[in-house]
Each structure stands twice: as C-alpha cells, then as structure tokens.
Chains A and B, each alone.
Chain A
Amino acid sequence: MRDRQVARDARRAREFEAFVAGAAGRLLHAAVLLTAEAPDASPRARRLLTLALAHTYARWDRLRGEDPYDCARQYLATRFARTTWHRYGVLGRARPDPRSPLAALTPRERLVLVLRLYEGVAEEQTAALLGLPAERVHALCDRATASVLHPDRPAAPRTANTEVAPS
C-alpha cells in the first residue's frame, strides 16, 4: 500500500515534469496574451500559469485519459475570466501594456481571440467554456480580429444585444 503510493507519486512527478517542460512555454505565451502585459514584466500571467499548473498537478491522478494541456488551458481561461471581472474589472482597471498586440481589446475579446485563434479551440467549445452562444463568439472573434488588424479604425459600437452576428 505504502509502496504503491510512493511509486504513484514518483510516476506523477516524472510525468508532470515532462508536461511542464513541454507545455509551459506555450501556456505562458497564451497567458501573457490574455493579460496583455509586456513579455518581460508579466506577474499576472505568471501567477495564472502557476495556478493552472498546480490545478493540473492536483488533478493528475484523476485525469483518466483527458489531455492535461486541455485541463490547464481550461483552468487558465476560466480563472482569467473570473478574476478579470471581480478584481480588475470595475475599480482597479488593469492597464494593458501598449507593447502587447492585443492591448486595444477588452478582456473578453482577448479571451475569445486567444482561445479561438492562438489555441485553435473550436467555436462551440469556446462558447461552452465561456458560457456564451456560439454566434456571439463568432461575432466577438470577427470584431477582435478587425480591431487587431486595423487598430486606428474606430471600433464598431459595443452594444451586446443589438448587434447582428454576421454569418
């Protein structure tokens, strides 16, 4: 019993170390894009990454064939969505660093863009993860794409309910 526990801990540590070595770079890049911080000064993105990895480590034995990268990415995205709202949302508005390519976007647009384009998550899965209808994700992605490519053009009016999703 004790031996089995020790063996399992050792295997988990080995597998997790390999996972971190392989996935941390890409996850950190995604986190930096999400928080729109400068690449060399990104405390918030690092914190997000550490928490996502810790969560993945805690779930490691119960993943049952699920992709650990998916687990970490999902935690990263949902945690970002949650903390943006109640910690950085109304009062302490986090100022995006102008060097970030996504600095002009709102946190939600960044989230959609990173999940859809950088990570290549399907539209339906992104919608399910963020609790939005798929058409809304489609529209957000289009608008965010446009404002990244043409930052000087005035953005479309940001009214959530009246817009028509282009199909």
Chain B
Amino acid sequence: MNRGEREAAVRRIMERGGAVLPPDLYGEAVRRGDRLLRQRQLVRRVLWLLAFAAAVAFTVWAAEAQPWAEPPAQTTPPLTGW
C-alpha cells in the first residue's frame, strides 16, 4: 500500500458520518460577529480620542512653555577691560 492509497483510505474514513448543524447557527454567528465589530469600533474610537487628546495637550504645553526659545542667561558675562 503506497502513500497515496493510504491517504485515500484515511480520507474515506474521515468522510464518514455527518454532524447535525445546530439550529440557530447563522443567528448566533451574526450576533457574535456584530459584537466583535462593535468592540473593535469602540477600541478604535477610544484610541483616536486618546491620540487627539495627546496632540491637544502637547500643543497647549508647547505654546505655554515654548521649549524652542533660548532660556535667559543665568550668569552675568565676566566683565573685562573696563
């Protein structure tokens, strides 16, 4: 018995019998699928909201602190040749 025949025999064994489908399979799948979609949408919205809030917070902080401006000198330059 070569490999092909063995595989065909196993395939026949596996094809035997059939399970009965649960009655409301379609409805249950759609319900769960819809819930998955809604959850994903919610997560996406929350993440966008967070990103937006972070952008706003950064803008406000940058406008307030102006980190690009040179800080005023803390020491007086040495006075020479006076």
Contact = CB atoms under 8 A, between A and B. Distances in A.
Interface of A: 13, 16-17, 20-21, 24-25, 28-29, 32-33, 39-40, 42, 45-46, 49-51, 53-58, 60, 101-102, 113-114, 117-118, 142, 144-146, 148-149
Contact of A145 (B7, B15, B26, B30): B7
A20 B19 contact: no
8 contacts: A50-B29, A53-B25, A55-B36, A117-B11, A142-B3, A145-B10, A149-B6, A149-B10
B77 interface: no
A102 B14 CA distance: 8
Contact of A114 (B6, B14, B20, B33): B14
Contacts of A28: 19, 21
A117 B15 CA distance: 10
Contacts of B30: 13, 16, 54, 57
Interface residues of chain B: helix, strand, loop or mixed (majority): helix
Contacts, number: 89
Interface of B: 3, 6-7, 9-11, 13-22, 25-26, 28-37, 40
Nearest to A25: B21
Nearest to A42: B19
Given A40-B20, A42-B19, A46-B22, A54 B10 contact: no
Contacts of A149: 6, 9-10
Given A29-B17, A33-B14, 15 more contacts: A16-B29, A17-B26, A28-B19, A29-B18, A39-B19, A50-B32, A53-B29, A54-B35, A55-B33, A56-B29, A114-B14, A117-B7, A117-B11, A118-B11, A145-B7
